Amino acid sequence: MSDTRTSPDSRLALHWRILIVFTGTVLVWLFLYHGALLGRDYDRPTHVARAILTTVLVVPLVVAARRLLDRRPWTGLGLPSRRVGRRLLLGMACWLIPAAIGFALCLGFGWVEISLRTSATDALRVAALLVVLVFLYEALPEELVFRGYLQRNLATRLPAWQAFIGQAVLFTLFGFLVGAAVSLDRLLLFFVFALLLGGFRVATGDIWAGIGFHVAFQSVAQLFGEVGAVFDVTGSDVLGFVAMGAIPFSLGWMAMERLHRNRLHWQAREPEPIR
């Protein structure tokens, strides 16, 4: 039987590894959003530049941490080469299908009115671009860091439920530090969103379903907001809470839990072999 214990002097202590990666991630976002290089004003070229640079900076950060600090294989981060497309589409479906129900309810009951500012062709073009930008700027780097690196490392020492909560706390703190979650409602959104995505990681064993869910949610939220700038929405708060939040978050998790209930072992740990 192989020894799964970790050598006391083979790696940097867990808390230091987590602190280094978390701090590096915060600094990347602060540099790209608040730094003088790109400025803080929003426009589409700046969004594109930030998205590309975020992935270019964050992915090597995690790779270096995994190789130099963890001294463990890349595969432990939850990025298997198989089932990528299926898991990605599953995550997207877990948000898009319930969200479609939420949109139908909001429009059917007259809680929300939506009108197109531009042509349908232009709206589709913007939607396609946002999917790519969300993948590069938010979904891939954030899932790789928080549900991939941080949750995985926490799960080697803690039961799954504690690692699940720990990464959610770190993600919420990240949102606060980079200025994306400074109000109580935004902090709550970050925490609940991170719990949901952390649950996806526990249920599936990888981060691709979480990436798919993240892409779907953020892309649609931005498309119907000022980032997309192609729709006028009356009742945007109701649309955001009901159709983009409460319904897809709850039904999406119910679907994921039902599909992978045999994998949800909340007391389990994920020890890594020395070699």
77 band by pLDDT with thresholds 50, 70 and 90: confident
**Residue 115 maps to a domain:** yes
Residue 9 located in a structural domain: no
Mean pLDDT across the chain: 90
269 part of a folded domain: no
Assigned domain for 104 exists = yes
Q: What is the pLDDT of residues 187-235, one digit of tens each?
A: 999 999 999 999 999 999 899 999 999 999 999 999 999 898 899 999 9
pLDDT value of residue 7 = 45
Residues 6+ apart with CB under 8 A from 178: 26, 29, 30, 33
Range(s) of the domain holding residue 251: 14-263
> How many other CB atoms are found less than 10 A from the CB of residue 131?
19
User: What pTM, to 2 d.p., does this model score?
Assistant: 0.92
List Cβ<8 Å contacts ≥24 apart for 95-98.
95/212, 95/213, 95/216, 95/217, 95/248, 95/252, 96/216, 96/220, 96/248, 97/251, 98/247, 98/248, 98/250, 98/251, 98/252
Q: Is residue 252 part of a domain?
A: yes
pLDDT at 111: 96
The per-residue pLDDT for 4 is 44
When divided into structural domains, the chain yields a total of 1
* Bridge partners for 231 per DSSP: 116
Helix or strand or coil: residue 232?
strand
Residue 167 resides in a domain: yes
pLDDT tens digits, residue range 229-246?
899 999 999 999 999 999
- For 28, other C-beta atoms within 10 Å of its C-beta total 20
Give me the amino acid identity at 184: L
φ/ψ of 95, rounded to 5, equals: -100, -45
**Does 173 map to a domain?**
yes
pLDDT at 9 over 70: no
CA angle, 212 as apex, 210 and 214 as ends, to 5°?
A: 65
Lowest mean pLDDT among 8-22, 127-141, 202-216, 248-262: 8-22
pLDDT confidence of residue 33: 81
8 in any annotated domain: no
- Out of 10-19, 32-41, 76-85, 124-133, the most confident range is 124-133
- Predicted pLDDT at 38: 66
- Percent of the chain at pLDDT exceeding 70: 92
Q: Are 266 and 160 in contact (CB under 8 A)?
A: yes
Amino acid identity at 112: V
pLDDT in the model for residue 225: 92
